[in-house]
Copies of this chain bind each other. A is one copy, B any other.
Amino acid sequence: MVSNVGYVLMRLRMMISTSDQNFIDSITLFVALLCACIMIGHLLEESRWINESITPLAIGLSTGIVILLTTDGKSSRILEFDEELFFTYLLPPIIFNAGFQVKKKQFFRNFMTIMLFGAIGTLVSFSVISFGATQFKRLDIGFLETRDYLAIGAIFSATDSVCTLQVLNQDETPLLYSIVFGEGVVNDAMSVVLFNAIQRFDLSHSSSGIALQFVGNFFSLFTTSTLLGVLIGLLSAYIIKKLYFGRHSTNREVALMVLMAYLSYVMAELFDLSGILTVFFCGIVMSHYTWHNVTESSRVTTKHVFAMLSFVAEIFIFLYVGMDALDIEKWKFVSNSPGKSIGVSSILLGLVLVGRAAFVFPLSFLSNLTKSKSEKIELKQQVTIWWAGLMRGAVSMALAYNQFARSGHTQLPGNAIMITSTITVVLFSTVVFGLMTKPLVRLLLPPPKHFSTMLSSEPSSPKSLALPLLSSGQASEADLGSCKAPRPTSLRTLLSTPTHTVHHYWRKFDDAFMRPMFGGRGFMPHAPGSPA
Contacts and interface: CB of A to CB of B under 8 A. Distances in A.
Interface stretch (A171-179, A254-262, A432-440): A254-262
Contact count band on A = 35 or more
A112 to B, nearest CB: 32
Interface string A219-241: 00000000000000000000100
Contacts of A413: none
A295 B21 CA distance: 37
Interface in A268-322: 269-270, 295, 297-298, 300-301, 304-305, 307-308, 311-312
Interface in A463-499: 466, 468-470
A10 B11 CA distance: 8
Contact of A7 (B10, B25, B266, B468): B10
A508 interface: no
A298 to B, nearest CB: 7
A471 to B, nearest CB: 10
List the number of copies, as a whole number.
Answer: 2
A43 B252 CA distance: 11
Interface stretch (A26-34, A65-73, A183-191): A26-34
A259 B39 contact: no
A202 interface: no
Contact of A300 (B10, B269, B297): B297
A41 B253 CA distance: 12
A382 interface: no
Contact of A255 (B11, B28, B312, B529): B312
Interface stretch (A136-144, A206-214, A243-251, A512-520): A243-251
A140 to B, nearest CB: 34
Contacts of A267: 28
A1 B260 CA distance: 13
A149 interface: no
A263 interface: yes
Interface in A36-50: 38-39, 41-43, 45
Contacts of A42: 243, 245, 248-249, 252
Contacts of A248: 42, 45
Contacts of A311: 251-252, 255
Contacts of A89: 2-3, 6
Given A10-B11, A297-B469, A28 B270 contact: yes
A304 B299 CA distance: 11
A470 B32 CA distance: 31
Interface in A90-141: none
Contacts of A203: none
A358 to B, nearest CB: 36
Contact of A256 (B38, B43, B262): B38
A379 to B, nearest CB: 33
A417 to B, nearest CB: 28
A4 interface: yes
A47 to B, nearest CB: 13
A25 B270 contact: yes
Given A7-B7, A42-B245, A243-B39, A24 B266 contact: yes
A502 interface: no
A88 to B, nearest CB: 6
A267 B25 CA distance: 8
A43 B466 CA distance: 40
B28 A251 contact: no
Contacts of A249: 42, 469
A215 interface: no
A281 to B, nearest CB: 18
Interface string A1-20: 11110110011001000000
A444 interface: no
A252 B307 CA distance: 10
A250 B469 CA distance: 8
Nearest to A46: B248
Q: Which of A251, A252, A270, A295 has the most CB of B within 10 A?
A: A251
Contacts of A38: 252, 255-256, 259
Contacts of A31: 259, 262-263, 266
13 contacts: A1-B255, A2-B258, A2-B259, A10-B10, A14-B14, A28-B263, A28-B270, A34-B255, A35-B260, A38-B256, A42-B252, A466-B529, A468-B529
Given A1-B259, A250-B308, 14 more contacts: A3-B3, A28-B266, A31-B266, A38-B252, A41-B252, A45-B248, A246-B469, A250-B307, A252-B311, A254-B305, A295-B469, A297-B300, A300-B300, A469-B530
